[in-house]
Every structure is written in C-alpha cells, then in structure tokens.
Structure 1
C-alpha cells in the first residue's frame, strides 16, 4: 500500500472495541468515507464526515467521520472519496490487551541493578548496573547502598518524586481494575500469588526505602551520576561515581504518600513488607512535621542531571496526609489534610503530575473508607467533577477529540494526555457518567495514531510507531527495534533541544515532534509517562 496515500486520514492503529466511539479524522477536507474489510476488500459501511474546521493545535483543517455503529469484529481500513487509505486496524473487544501488557512490561525494562536476561527481556538484554554505593553529596565520607529501582527516563538517574508518581498510578490501577492484571507479564517474579503489577512496583518501592535516611526519616531527592553519559551508553557501562542529592521535602512527602499506599495494597500479600512501608511512611511524616517551610530543591553546584526542582511542597504534604489517614485512620492525619487544603488550592487540587501531586491526595480522600468531613468531601468531589467537565469541554471542541489546549503541547505532553484521561476516568467512577469515559477513550485513540502526525507514540505498537526514542538502552544495545512499550513524550512547541530548534521551528504545537534520538524534549521516554497510560488502558481491558 502506498503510504503517501495514508497521510490524510488518522485512526487508532491498534483498533477499537466493538461498542466504543470510532472516529476517523480527515486532514484532506470533508466528504464521503468507507469502512472496508481489509481481507475481502468489501465495503461494509459508508458515511459522510462533518464539515471541515480549523484546528489550531494541529495547524490545519480537520473533519471527523463517525463509524461507531459498525461493531462486527474484524480487520478494516478507511478509504475516502479522495483516495486516501488508512492503516489497517482491528475491531475487537480485546484489542488493548497486548498494549496494556507491553506498557506495564516496560517497567521491567527500566529496572536498574539487575541483569535483564533473554528469557524475560528477549533481545533487549543488559548486564547488572549501578551497584556501587553512592556518595551523599556534601557528606563525601558517607555512602548509601541504593541499588535497584527503575531508571527514570532515557538516562540512568533515579528520582523519588517521579518514581512515586509512577508507583501511585500503577497501585491505583491495580486497586480500581484488578481484573486487568490477571495475566502474567513474564518477569522474574511471575508465577507467585501476588499480581505481577505489585511485584514490579515492589522493585521500585524497595529502592525508595533505601533512599530514606535512617537517622532522620528524611528522603534523599535523587540518585545520579554528576553528568549524563553519552547517548549510546549501556547501563552497565555507565560507571561514573554515583551521588545521592540532599534530602528534600518534596521527595519526603511523595515517599510518605507512596509508602502509605503500599501498606494498604501489599497487606493481603505480605504483611511484613506492608508494615515496613507504613513505618517508613510514618517516619517520613515525622520529618515533614519537624521541617515546615523547608527550602525547595535545587541541583547541587556540581550536579547537572535532571533536577525535578519544586519550590513548594504543600501538595506533597497534602497527598501524604491523605494516604496516611486512609491507611491508618488516625485523626492527626485527617486534621493535617484539612489544614493543607487551603495551602494547596492556589496550585490546583486535582493535578496528577510530578510537580503537583495534589490530585492523588484528593483521590485518596474521596475513595477512603474512613470518616470524612462531609463539607470537605463534597467540595473535593464537586471540584474534581468540575475539572473533568472543563476537560470534556476542550475535548468536544478539539478536532482530535482530546483535552489539550494549544499551549499545553509542552515537554511530556503525552503525560498530560494520559493524566487528563485518568482524571476523566476517576470522574466516571465517582459520578457513574459514561460521558467521561467516552472522552477518555479518545485520548487512547490519539496516543496510538489518531493525531496530526498519524503515528503511534508508543514503541512497538501500531503500524507506524516511534522508532528512535531518546532512550540510551535502545540506542546502545545493537538491536534494530527499540525497547517495546515505551511512551514518547510527544509534541513540544517550546523547541527545547538543538534538533527541535533547527527542524521544528514554525510547526504547529501538535506537530512539533521529531522521532529522533537527538530530540530529547519531544521523544524522550519516562516511567511516569508510561504509568498513567497503564492506568487508562486498565480501565478498557479490566471492565
């Protein structure tokens, strides 16, 4: 098939469940379209797109053809009256099963400190890495054994805050949609009585426990080398000295929250581990109480790796208080949570990103079985649904059906896409309104190809997936295909790397993307871009 004829029509390259909304997006104007059986060539459905309209984010005209009424399983393509032909796609109720599994298995490929063997990793193997104790920056005589955990992104740093977000997304997914996690992943721990998703999170949680200072309860912000290694460096060849950066309030707050979550989720499977998580969370909370007004984190002078700086920690404290209250029922955490609401409100109470973790605190409180303040619970519920309504309104006006405004196509825009879908699904769970779910699924369609570039933003999935992510193991391992199941950061109109400045200037926000290793500001991968995608797909495979 001539791929140049596919440039004018975008679809979800994985496909659609039978009863889902199914939209083909045309960029060549409006008119007739046909749904064609890919095997027989028979036209099984015909329709007309709506009127073409200007889409500011993508910088072009788009029209939308709805073929939701066709529910027969099979393999299909879309053909237009101007000769455009889409990539083939599937209609089947299990269409997202393998994608969900790949997005979750990606966390195994991010593992640090152990050999990835062929029987679990296929061709994407590497030797054990980063096993030497790390120097505590500013206390050069002090060493911390902080092996294990997940590499954060395309580099080999490990960061408590982003790791806590990723863990939170996965633990919430496993709590809300346990049926989605029945299948084994093919990781070393598979075959036990604990779901593989919890096994995988435990690998990160055990690293986080090593990042807590035993004497004070505070948590070191991150573990990295002083500088990033070259782009084709394999993990085992990154042998520069390791450093843990100083304790931060944001890391300590995230740690307390994630450990309190873990204490609940692991209790049915491993009471001793759950208890150790709760003790660590309570000790971290004691540190937070003893350090009000703690300065925001900034990289120490000699450190040039990812900073994850954050000037305020009210949202992390808010999240920690909510999780500790939900886990323990102790009134002191409830009181702290109520007092923190006003401090967090100016920054937003419903955000799910590493820079503002407030949404996790709100979710923890709303879904808690503990006694609530009725007025506060009503305020938070109404506020979350109001925020979901705002996102839904953007979806309804957007040519591609997603909730990003043009100015939101920033570094990690695909995280925002999936975070928004996640919030819509939480609203669906709170309200029972299927309208939120119908908007959320459009974000899945966007991720897998229903976008202005007509590509899947996940390695190894779809007919036209990204091939050259900013991911050092994929660059240096000698395997043609990148590590599968990695979510790319996506379009970023801010031109924040040299390649983007040279090649993407003048592009529309949603088209500001380059599938090259050099464009780290558009095509990097991270654990906390994968994690909300796992949550969202869990809804659509776990019902």
Structure 2
C-alpha cells in the first residue's frame, strides 16, 4: 500500500510539473568563452527545480543552476528567473533543460568563432534591397525614377535618380536613411578592414572583383548620393511616396501610379528647407543640414577610402562632400520625409550631429582646420540633445540617426580634453539606459518605439565605440545583454534578424514582397522589432493573418509578432540592417 501511494504521488507530481508552462529565453547563437553567459526562464507559476546545462549531443549534464528570481517591473505576471552559467568556458554546443516540465532551450554554442561571418548575411540582405539592378532578384526595376517636384526646374521634369536601395518592405527611397546606411558601412570598413569577404562584384553578382563586398555595397550608396546632388544648389531627398502602398509587388512590376501610369515615372522630391507635401499632410521641414551633412560625411569617408582604389572617383566624392557641407551650412535645419495621402513620414528633427560628423570627416579628408573647428562647435550643441539615449521616448525617427557617429569620428582628431567631453556624451547616454534596464528582467533600457531594434543595435554600437574611445571596459556585460536580446534573450525567444542563426527561431513571415510574392527567405535583415502595446494598438491597418507563435509568451508591456500583416514589428529595414554592421563585424572579429 505504501509503495502504491508513493508511485501514485510521483505520477501526480510528474503530471503537475509536466503541465507547467516554462519558457526559455537565451541567445541562440551563443557565447564567446569569456562572455557573461545568462539566460532568462519564466513561467506563470513559480519555478522550483534547478536548471541543467546539457552538453549536446551526448546529453551530459555540465552543471545544475538554481534559478535566481528577478524583478519583472512592467513585464507582466510571469515569474522571471536568471540562469547564470558564466563559469563555463569550454567550447561546444549546449542547451538548458528543466527536467520537471521536460522543457528545454534551443541549442547554442560556446566558442571563439560563434559569431564569425554573420556580417556577410547583412550585406546579402542589403543587395536584396537594391533598386535599379537587383542581383538577388536578377531584375532591373524603377529605371524611370523620377519626375521632379519642388525643384528649381518645372515640376514633372525628368531627373535621373535611379539606383539606391528600397527603404524596407515598400519600394520608396530616402536620402534620410540611405545617407546613414552608406556612411555606417564605410565606417565599419575603416574599423575592421580585414573582416570582410570578397565574393561578389560591383553589381552584387557572384565572383570576386578585388574589393571587399562591404565597399561594393557602400559604393552603390555613394553612386546614388552623387546622383541626388546634380548641382551645388540641388539635392533630391526622396523618391516616391505612400502612393507606393498598393499591396505587395515585384519591383519591376510596380503598380503604383504617380500620374504617368503604373510601373512608370515616380515623384522625385527636391530639398527646399521648407514644408512640403502634395496633399494635406505637410512636413515640418526648416532646412536641409541633416541630409546634406550625413551625405557629406559619407562622401568624405568614401573619398578617403577610394583614394587608394580609384583616385578620380575619390576626387569626385570629395568635391560633392564639400558642396553638400556648404549647403548644410547655408540651410541649417532639417528636411523631413514627404507623405501623400497618409500621416506617416520620417519626422527627423536633429541636424547638428550630422554636421559634426561631416566636419570631422572633411577635416580628415582635407586637413583644413575650419572643418574641425566647426565640427567641435556642432558637437557641443548636439551633445546629448540629439540622442534618444537620455530620453524616455521619442517620435518615429525624430532623433535620427540613432547613434551620433560624429562624436566617434571627431574624437580621433581633437585634443585630450575635448576627447573626454565626447566620451562623456556617449557615457551619459549609456548610463541613462542602464538605469532604465534595471526594471527589465532582460537588462534592456531602450524605449520600445517603432523600430526599437534600430535603437538596440545603435546602443550596442555606442557601447563598442565608447570602449574604443576611452579604453573603459566596464560595460562589457551590458553590451553582451543587448546582443543577447537581439538573438533570443527576449520574451519571445526569437532572433531579430532573418535567417540568423540558421537553425534557430527567427523572423520568417516578414513584411516584404520577396517573401510574400516569391517565398524568398533572405538572411540578415533586421526587423523593426517589438513596440509598446500602447503604440501598437493605435496603428492603422495591422492584421495577423496567421496564429501568433508566441501567444503564451506575450506580455502586456511590449508586443512582437512574426506575421506579414504586422508591419510595425516584423518589417525588415534597409537602414536598420546597415546600421547593425559595425556591431556584427565587431562580434565576428572578437
């Protein structure tokens, strides 16, 4: 009788434990041997049992870990626990196991080469976004971009603005985002020149051409920037508008109509430094220093790099950079994006940071003292006023770019006292986000506004650049936490990059035409990422066309869906992907 009761009790307890919902959140790529190694496990109920770190594939238990309760803050009614296995440095593949519920984490690596080569996936996604000749789709699109509006010539005059990149899942093109994407890739190359492969030619087709692929992609951007500045007083800032949004379409079969029929000419908007809009939705533009400054910075960087590759091209880039910088000085203020029939646009409000970056890069390219002096003035004005890192929230693209690369660029060429000032700007932003992160079980301190993943990769980049500037390594564990969030240590246990890691949980049902129309799953694209539920609930046209994979893991604070219809959280962006290349290359190198 006693034996029967023991067996019955054991079966009952086993059933109860097995029925418990236990969720693991861990970086699915894994960890470098010396990393801080942490995961989060959570459940609607309290978790009583130890978590095992299991070696794969031999199923040997390496250590037993007692879950450490962590504060959940606003993250809902789950019970959250930290699993810390930082002491394990031996290389291999592992997973975490909760025996009572028979629940496990994904398999991940510990190894010195865990992140090697992922930056190339990001470049592959950038090639998918190319307009003009697209090597991934092997087609030519939008050859008739575009017809002028607000320019010095009569409206509807043809101007050659072909090329560049499609912005996201739509097929608009913006100087606002493309200037930053180009400059970021060029800076990634200057920081890590030996970390990039040469597997494609200038058109993005298979085959070496003696130039690292990151420079081939950046030159695609530089060529477009040069086209958009055809004369000293002319700068095109946007191609197409929300008339593009007529459902998913293959780029060379564009059904949008701007007055010349489907798959024909599209609007090309010239910067004027004044409010623009063809219909009732007017921008709040008051200058053009943001786009002129960023473009000048990218072109000055390109001039320095191409001096050893193609001197004539280098000279052309430098002359354009000088001209654009002068345009920014003349028209201080911001040129915002244009909309047509919808209220959404890029509402950038900052520009001192862009002119700082341009001045620093032009000083390096020319040696002219005035550029450095002006860059220092812009740096002091920009300080942290242009940074989301010291604010609790911001509007969509209000404080763009999401990292001030000018502080880092200028740091290399100023006296030690001013270097400390620039370091302090970065550090203040980092410390502010750390304070906010203490209310999160996942150690993240970003505001979950639209494109939150761009903020996350930019914060991680700022941590990297701060360490390079100052030599201060105190934030390494915090950097690791931001990295881990991006690859699965988040409420949904998913990577935020398409196709990374190859056998992991990552965005599949993405808001892009190549996926919807052709079934193409292109690795390397950074999706917009989770947003506050308060924002999500107010957006127009959101639909979930498939069951929510993460329904049991969702919380009342922030939301993410792997669904084509959720354009707010699951749309890969060109500038977000390009803006992650410094981070990904740093991880690959280390």
Same fold (TM over 0.5): yes
One of 180, 189, 194 as aligned partner of 1:165: 180
Q: 1:306 to 1:193 in 2, by over 3 A?
A: farther
One of 206, 219, 222 as aligned partner of 1:205: 222
Inter-partner Cα distance in structure 1 for 2:121 and 2:337: 35
**Is residue 530–residue 558 contact of structure 2 (8 Å, CA) maintained in 1?**
yes
| Residue 23 (str. 1) matches residue 38 (str. 2) | yes
| Residue 76 (str. 1) matches residue 94 (str. 2) | yes
Number of aligned pairs?
522
Q: Deviations over 1:59-85 (max 9, x none)?
A: 633111111222222222100243221
Q: Deviations over 1:296-353 (max 9, x none)?
A: 43526x4659632334533332332222223222122123223334442462368797
Inter-partner Cα distance in structure 2 for 1:431 and 1:259: 27
**Is residue 319–residue 362 contact of structure 1 (8 Å, CA) maintained in 2?**
yes
Offset at 1:4? 9.9
| Residue 445 (str. 1) matches residue 484 (str. 2) | yes
Offset at 1:57? 4.2
Q: 1:297 to 1:434 in 2, by over 3 A?
A: closer
Instruction: Pick which of 412-421 and 4-13 moved more.
Output: 4-13
One of 31, 50, 60 as aligned partner of 2:68: 50
**Is residue 226–residue 243 contact of structure 1 (8 Å, CA) maintained in 2?**
no
Tell me what 2:459 maps to. 420
Q: 2:104 aligns to what SS in structure 1? A: coil
| Residue 103 (str. 1) matches residue 122 (str. 2) | yes
Inter-partner Cα distance in structure 1 for 2:93 and 2:19: 21
Q: 2:236 aligns to what SS in structure 1? A: coil
| Residue 129 (str. 1) matches residue 153 (str. 2) | no
Tell me what 1:517 maps to. 564
Q: Deviations over 1:212-263 (max 9, x none)?
A: 13252x4211112561243320111111431111215032222112111211
Inter-partner Cα distance in structure 2 for 1:269 and 1:351: 38
**Is residue 7–residue 454 contact of structure 1 (8 Å, CA) maintained in 2?**
no
One of 420, 426, 436 as aligned partner of 1:384: 426
Inter-partner Cα distance in structure 2 for 1:305 and 1:113: 28
Inter-partner Cα distance in structure 1 for 2:359 and 2:116: 35
Q: 1:331 to 1:488 in 2, by over 3 A?
A: same
Q: 1:524 to 1:59 in 2, by over 3 A?
A: farther
**Is residue 219–residue 255 contact of structure 1 (8 Å, CA) maintained in 2?**
no
Tell me what 2:348 maps to. 310
Tell me what 1:356 maps to. 400
Tell me what 1:8 maps to. 23
Q: 1:277 to 1:24 in 2, by over 3 A?
A: same
Q: 2:63 aligns to what SS in structure 1? A: strand
Offset at 1:181? 1.3
Inter-partner Cα distance in structure 2 for 1:200 and 1:4: 51
Q: Which has the higher helix share?
A: 1
Inter-partner Cα distance in structure 2 for 1:365 and 1:324: 10
Q: 2:96 aligns to what SS in structure 1? A: strand
Tell me what 2:362 maps to. 324
Inter-partner Cα distance in structure 2 for 1:163 and 1:450: 30
**Is residue 198–residue 209 contact of structure 2 (8 Å, CA) maintained in 1?**
no
Instruction: Pick which of 104-113 and 306-315 moved more.
Output: 306-315
Tell me what 2:312 maps to. 272
One of 255, 259, 265 as aligned partner of 2:299: 259
Structure 2 counterparts to residues 29-44 of structure 1, below 5 A: 29-30=46-47, 31-44=49-62
| Residue 193 (str. 1) matches residue 210 (str. 2) | yes
Q: 1:149 to 1:455 in 2, by over 3 A?
A: same
Q: 1:364 to 1:311 in 2, by over 3 A?
A: same
Larger RCO (CA under 8 A, 6+ residues apart): 1
Instruction: Pick which of 147-156 and 94-103 moved more.
Output: 94-103
Offset at 1:396? 5.4
What TM-score, normalized to structure 1? 0.88
Runs of at least 5 residues in structure 1 that lack an aligned partner in the other structure: none
Inter-partner Cα distance in structure 1 for 2:139 and 2:313: 28
Cα RMSD of the aligned pairs, angstroms, is 2.9
Tell me what 2:10 maps to. none
**Is residue 129–residue 165 contact of structure 2 (8 Å, CA) maintained in 1?**
yes
Inter-partner Cα distance in structure 2 for 1:93 and 1:4: 38
**Is residue 296–residue 322 contact of structure 2 (8 Å, CA) maintained in 1?**
yes
Q: 1:434 aligns to what SS in structure 2? A: coil
One of 80, 96, 99 as aligned partner of 1:62: 80
**Is residue 220–residue 251 contact of structure 1 (8 Å, CA) maintained in 2?**
no
Inter-partner Cα distance in structure 2 for 1:6 and 1:101: 37
Offset at 1:199? 0.9
Q: Deviations over 1:524-543 (max 9, x none)?
A: 11112112322112111113
Q: 2:126 aligns to what SS in structure 1? A: helix
Tell me what 2:443 maps to. 401
**Is residue 497–residue 521 contact of structure 1 (8 Å, CA) maintained in 2?**
no
Q: 1:426 aligns to what SS in structure 2? A: helix
Inter-partner Cα distance in structure 1 for 2:341 and 2:513: 20
Q: 1:97 aligns to what SS in structure 2? A: coil
Tell me what 1:534 maps to. 581
Inter-partner Cα distance in structure 2 for 1:168 and 1:209: 14
One of 219, 235, 240 as aligned partner of 1:224: 240
Offset at 1:414? 0.6
